[in-house]
A and B are shown apart, each in its own frame.
Chain A
């Protein structure tokens, strides 16, 4: 297991809420794909049915945190300062994937963009932009 891979496993394994929604992640080289398998518990609207928007937001936020953990050596988990979530398509009862792009890492603050999709990468279902405080970066 590469160093980045073990850091990724450690970070996701340490977040009980990631386990609660059933999130995992895979690494191909330095590219991480976060995976949210469908489960009846993550449904928000049972009529359609559609995945809860909050779960998609949480999944993308944790994707950003996981990406930061493999890209940077941090002593502590980064803290979320703000997130802006756009909902583009209804989350269908299928596996959802997400990838994060770190746009900028400063001394204390990182800016990360995340996109989530299901069957087609070109048809994202939601996007997140966020700022994260790198609390352990200065120690």
Chain B
């Protein structure tokens, strides 16, 4: 695949993840930049998203969701073909409160990709990534939906064991 095609593919994945994911859409996430294992996302400031009404600061949970979402896009931006991914763990250090009234950006970098796992570092900030609101370190499982069909979560776990066990257990 040419570099232009790959860039276009990454942009389409970002668009699908921002507009197709109801929570990302509800929070108004947009991707400002994506490619080479890096993704930069933005969440616009809104009073509904405040965590502490005394200060007007956006809730830590919104920053958590933004960092998780940006980290996922960075993983896709590090790969040349699309695969399903799922967050294994996410560690976040909150360095300072976000400035009230300002949009928050997150820059995530997928710095290591193995066959099964992707490792990501990310920061959230208003204008300068060197002066972060929060820093995150995350690990993602790759091909997380192996053997799972669309709508798999609508059924209780184990109810579809007969058809999924072949793939998941490798028997």
Partners in one complex: yes
Task: Known A49-B153, A57-B65, A58-B65; judge A42-B22 contact (CB<8 A).
Answer: yes
A58 & B59 in contact (Cβ 8 Å cutoff)? yes
B20 & A46 in contact (Cβ 8 Å cutoff)? yes
Q: How many B residues touch the partner, as a band? A: 35 or more
| Chain B binding surface SS class | mixed
A43 & B157 in contact (Cβ 8 Å cutoff)? no
B157 & A54 in contact (Cβ 8 Å cutoff)? no
Task: Known A20-B49, A42-B23, A47-B145; judge A90-B153 contact (CB<8 A).
Answer: yes
Q: Tell me whether A109 is interfacial, beta carbon within 8 Å.
A: no
Task: Known A43-B21, A48-B148, A48-B151; judge A57-B86 contact (CB<8 A).
Answer: no
Q: Tell me whether B101 is interfacial, beta carbon within 8 Å.
A: no
B24 & A44 in contact (Cβ 8 Å cutoff)? yes
Contact bitstring B147-167, A, C-beta under 8 A = 1, else 0: 010111110110000000000
Report the minimum CB–CB distance from B1 to chain A (whole Å): 24
Interface residues of A (CB under 8 A from B): 14-21, 40-50, 52-55, 57-59, 61-62, 76-77, 79-87, 89-93, 119, 123
Q: Could you list 12 A-B pairs, sorted by A, with CB under 8 Å?
A: A14-B52, A16-B47, A16-B50, A17-B59, A18-B59, A41-B26, A58-B59, A77-B52, A80-B94, A85-B87, A90-B86, A93-B153
10 A-B pairs with least C-beta separation: A58-B61, A54-B65, A17-B59, A52-B23, A54-B68, A48-B153, A57-B64, A92-B153, A53-B87, A43-B22
